[in-house]
């Protein structure tokens, strides 16, 4: 698929199916790494899910495994108390056993990559807790697969640093296509990994680097509005948005404008959003996000992709309640609102008016919990 932003900006993207264990990216030195382990050892991991506020450069948001480029989009995300949890055991058998039928293929894929990049040749058993709210913009796949990478790394005595682990996860990121159960390249900025590790507010740059991390303040609720899936095109969520027949003709024009938008997003992030976060000023924080929502193009494919459900209508009504911040997480369809006491009731009423399921969460500032 070729996307032409201008006469001087044309990119060709591939989206071929990914085989189980296929490595799309590995620029880490000295692989395969030496693993130190004991068969029978168990590791339990719990990580927070990430809420994505914005992408810094949409022109660099590409699927993993591209020959021409890597995903260097950067993002702004924070952790919430919605968790992905699993337990991993090392076994002498080379077999990989996943006690989670729904996620078996994508988790097996991650472990095959991990085994290929280390000298470990044993097997794994994995027990993953049910992952609620899948493919609605709440980081379900990213947090679960990173939790698995974290557990495997811990069980093998950390052959990779946290920074390397984030890069391996992001640049080999895949999604499971629910229509045909095949693995396809996904898009990751490294935010799921860094939020899982650190919690709080995380800003990532190109090369999946963590450039800013701040604790989110107490006294606020993160209220999520999730629309009925039957109101979204094909009954599916925002994942696979590039397959939308509605969106395709707009990709070139979006890429053209995004080259200008990216400078604006980066400036607002550095000069407005980050200082507001340090100052614990959620009102200013939300105003900057609203500017991003109105002038950025992240919302355009989201709005086009979700059929009869219109996130923009919901966002405008939420804004009128006076709540501190509101935006669409990832590519949606979930609408996120950060609200202090006094605004929660109005926000929930507005979500219900738009037919949304309401989920009330809080910030997670702690990040990963690992138990042996």
Output the domain CATH number for residue 344.
3.30.70.890
Q: Which of 14-18, 66-70, 71-75, 344-348 comes out lowest in average pLDDT?
A: 66-70
Asked whether residue 193 falls in the same domain as residue 240, the answer is no
Q: What are phi and psi of 140, to 5 degrees?
A: -65, -50
Domain enclosing residue 268, as ranges: 220-361
User: Do both 210 and 238 map to the same domain?
Assistant: no
Question: 209 and 89 in one domain?
Answer: yes
CA quadruple 363, 365, 367, 370: dihedral positive or negative? Answer: negative
Confidence category of residue 336, pLDDT binned at 50, 70, 90: very high
Confidence at residue 91, expressed as pLDDT on a 0 to 100 scale: 98
Tell me the per-residue pLDDT of 28-54, one tens digit each, with 9 for 90 and over.
999 999 999 999 999 999 999 999 999
Q: Is the separation of the CB atoms in 348 and 356 below 8 Å? A: no
For 31-79, the three-class secondary structure string (H helix, E strand, C coil) is CCECCCCCCCCEEEEEEEEEEEEEECCHHHCCCCCCCCCCCCCCEEEEE
- What was the pLDDT predicted at 233? 44
| Whole-number average pLDDT of the chain | 87
Residues 235 and 156 both lie in one domain: no
Task: Report the percentage of the chain scoring pLDDT > 90.
Answer: 66
Q: pLDDT confidence of 297, banded at 50, 70, 90?
A: low
What was the pLDDT predicted at 320?
96
Can you give the pTM of this predicted structure?
0.91
Task: Give the model's pLDDT for residue 163.
Answer: 97
Tens-place pLDDT, residues 60-113: 888 888 876 778 899 999 999 999 999 999 999 999 999 998 899 999 999 999
* Dihedral (Cα; 158, 162, 163, 167), 10-degree rounding: 80
* Domain match, 226 and 338 both: yes
Average pLDDT of the residues in 235-249: 40
Distance CA(81)–CA(30), nearest Å, equals 36
With 60 as the cut, is the pLDDT of residue 231 above it?
no
Contact predicate 75/209, CB 8 Å: no
pLDDT at 300: 52
Give start and end residues of each alpha helix (H) in 190-298.
191-198, 251-268, 274-278, 282-295
pLDDT given at position 122: 97
For residues 74 and 178, membership in a common domain is answered with yes
Q: Are residues 100 and 229 in the same domain?
A: no
User: Is residue 213's pLDDT more than 80?
Assistant: yes
**Does the pLDDT value for residue 324 go beyond 60?**
yes
pLDDT digits (tens, 9 = 90+) for 135-164: 888 999 999 999 999 999 999 999 999 999
pLDDT band at 237; cut points 50, 70, 90? very low
In the predicted structure, residue 245 carries a pLDDT above the cut 50: no
Distance CA 233, CA 225 (A): 18
**Domain identity same for 203 and 266:** no
Q: pLDDT per residue over 256-295, tens digit each?
A: 667 778 889 999 999 999 999 999 999 999 999 999 988 8
Give the number of other CB atoms < 10 A from CB of residue 234.
Answer: 13
SS (H, E, C) 335-362: EEEEEECCCHHHHHHHHHHCCCEEEEEC
Q: How confident is the model at residue 358 (pLDDT cuts 50, 70, 90)?
A: very high
84 and 16 share one domain: yes
31 and 148 belong to one structural domain: yes
Give me the CATH number covering residue 175. Answer: 3.30.230.10
Does one domain contain both 56 and 187?
yes
Query: CB-based contacts of 28: which residues, under 8 Å, 6+ apart?
Result: 117, 160, 164, 167, 168
How far apart are the C-alpha atoms of 129 and 87, rounded to whole Å? 9
pLDDT mean over 179-188: 87
Whether the Cβ atoms of residue 38 and residue 121 lie closer than 8 Å to each other:
no
265, 274 contact by CB (below 8 A): no
Instruction: Give the residue, 365 or 72, on which the prediction is more confident.
Output: 365
Kindly state whether residues 253 and 296 are assigned to the same domain.
Answer: yes
Helix then strand then coil, in percent of the chain rounded to 5, is: 35, 25, 40
Overall number of domains in the chain: 2
Query: Mean pLDDT throughout 231-242?
Result: 45
Q: Is the pLDDT of residue 8 over 60?
A: no
């Amino acid at each position: 698929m070729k996307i032409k932003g201008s006469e001087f900006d044309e990119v060709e993207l591939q989206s071929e199916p990914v085989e189980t264990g296929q490595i799309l990216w590995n620029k880490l030195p000295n692989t395969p790494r030496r693993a130190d382990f004991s068969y029978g050892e168990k590791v339990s991991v719990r990580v927070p899910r990430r809420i994505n506020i914005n992408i810094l450069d949409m022109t660099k948001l590409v699927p993993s495994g591209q020959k021409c480029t890597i995903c260097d989009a950067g993002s702004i995300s924070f952790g919430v108390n919605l968790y992905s949890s699993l337990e991993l055991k090392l076994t002498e058998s080379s077999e990989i056993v996943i006690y989670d039928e729904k996620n078996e293929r994508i988790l097996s894929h991650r472990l095959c990559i991990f085994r290929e990049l280390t000298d470990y040749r044993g097997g794994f058993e994995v027990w993953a807790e049910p992952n609620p709210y899948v493919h609605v913009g709440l980081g379900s796949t990213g947090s679960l697969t990173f939790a698995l990478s974290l557990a495997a790394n811990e069980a093998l005595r950390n052959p990779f640093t946290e920074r390397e682990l984030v890069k391996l996860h992001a640049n080999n990121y895949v999604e499971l296509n629910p229509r045909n159960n095949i693995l396809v390249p996904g898009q990751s900025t490294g935010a799921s990994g860094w939020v899982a590790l650190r919690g709080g507010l995380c800003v990532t740059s190109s090369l999946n680097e963590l450039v800013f991390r701040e604790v989110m303040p107490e006294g606020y609720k993160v209220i999520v509005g999730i629309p009925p899936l039957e109101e979204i095109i094909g009954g599916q969520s925002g994942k696979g948005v590039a397959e939308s027949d509605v969106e395709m003709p707009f990709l070139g024009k979006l890429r053209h404008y995004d080259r200008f938008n990216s400078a604006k997003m980066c400036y607002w992030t550095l000069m407005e959003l980050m200082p507001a976060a340090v100052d614990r000023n959620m009102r200013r924080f939300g105003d900057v996000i609203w500017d991003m929502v109105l002038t950025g193009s992240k919302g355009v494919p989201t709005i086009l992709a979700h059929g009869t459900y219109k996130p923009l209508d919901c966002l405008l009504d939420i804004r009128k309640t006076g709540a501190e911040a509101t935006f669409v997480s990832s590519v949606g369809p979930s609408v996120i609102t950060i609200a202090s006491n006094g605004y929660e009731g109005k926000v929930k009423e507005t979500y219900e008016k738009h037919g949304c399921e309401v989920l009330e969460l809080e910030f997670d500032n702690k990040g990963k919990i690992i138990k042996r």
